[in-house]
Amino acid sequence: MLAAGDVEMVVFTVEIALLGTALNLVPGTAAALFLARYRGPGKGAIETVLSLPLVLPPTAVGILLLRALARRGLLGTLLGDLGIEIVFTWKAVLLATMVMSFPLLVRSARTAFEEVDPRLVGIARTLGCGPARAFFRVTLPLAWRGILAGSVLAFSRALGEFGATVMVAGNIPGRTQTLPLAIFHYNQIGRDDRALALVGVTVVLAFVALWSAELVSRRRSGRTTA
């Protein structure tokens, strides 16, 4: 059984993961479309920068975020002047999960956009659709499965984010503690029973997310075939 504090922590983790995925959706889709269509100079460098969180140790990403948000840093000074506190708050948890999960959404959506036949978009343009209308009427309906898959992967990654979060937000119960941080904490103090209970919750959440995405994809595929 989960304690009341653990239930609140689980809810907090899910809310952060959902909010981070939602906030990543538009910029992630835009970045994926740009990478799929752009053929100019510097594309490789842009791809590399966007993918860095996938290969860097999460703690390294956390330190970079911490330095960027420090009061002596340019960004930290600007935020401080605006009265915005991020480090060791829920906003830091949100930022860390967004940064670490963003590349997964971009890579999946980019693959989906690259699989869209450009001739179909060209036909839509010749029939009077502008760029925006062609995107929403042709490109997006054909690429939505990849975007959905990327969103699910990003959500699952956000649920499991540990390294960057602990560096920039700490492990403060009732304030910044998430499922992975709580599992680590209980394991460290010898409460393996509670750690295993939270592991079970994490598995269930990830399973439900993946199963739901697969169910939606199958229903949409069936309607399209019909």
Q: CATH number of the domain that 167 lies in? A: 1.10.3720.10
Domain count of the fold of the chain: 1
Q: Give the pLDDT score at 150.
A: 92
d(CA 114, CA 16): 30
Question: By residue range, what is the domain housing residue 191?
Answer: 4-219
Q: Is 166 within a domain?
A: yes
Q: Is 225 within a domain?
A: no
Residue 82 has pLDDT above 90, yes or no: no
Q: Give the pLDDT score at 217.
A: 65
Q: Is 47 within a domain?
A: yes
Neighbours of 137 (CB within 10 A): 13
Q: Is 226 within a domain?
A: no
- pLDDT bracket for residue 202 (50, 70, 90): very high
Q: Is 197 within a domain?
A: yes
Lowest-pLDDT range, 183-192, 194-203, 217-226? 217-226
Residue 226 has pLDDT above 60, yes or no: no
Lowest-pLDDT range, 63-72, 113-122, 140-149, 176-185? 63-72
Q: Is 224 within a domain?
A: no
Are 117 and 95 a contacting pair, CB within 8 Å?
no
Residue 108 has pLDDT above 50, yes or no: yes
Are 96 and 152 a contacting pair, CB within 8 Å?
no
- pLDDT bracket for residue 203 (50, 70, 90): very high
Q: What is the pLDDT of residues 39-65, one digit of tens each?
A: 889 999 999 999 999 999 999 999 999
What's the 3-state SS for 96-145? HHHHHHHHHHHHHHHHHHHCCCHHHHHHHHHCCCCHHHHHHHHHHHHHHH
Average pLDDT for residues 124-151, to the nearest whole number? Answer: 91
Are 159 and 199 a contacting pair, CB within 8 Å?
no
Average pLDDT for residues 211-222, to the nearest whole number? Answer: 68
Average pLDDT for residues 194-219, to the nearest whole number? Answer: 85
Task: Tell me what the pLDDT averaged over the chain comes to.
Answer: 89
Residue 223 has pLDDT above 50, yes or no: no
Residue 220 has pLDDT above 80, yes or no: no
Average pLDDT for residues 153-181, to the nearest whole number? Answer: 94
Average pLDDT for residues 109-126, to the nearest whole number? Answer: 91
Cβ-proximal residues to 139 (8 Å cutoff; 6+ apart), any chain: 33, 113, 116, 121
Q: Is 136 within a domain?
A: yes
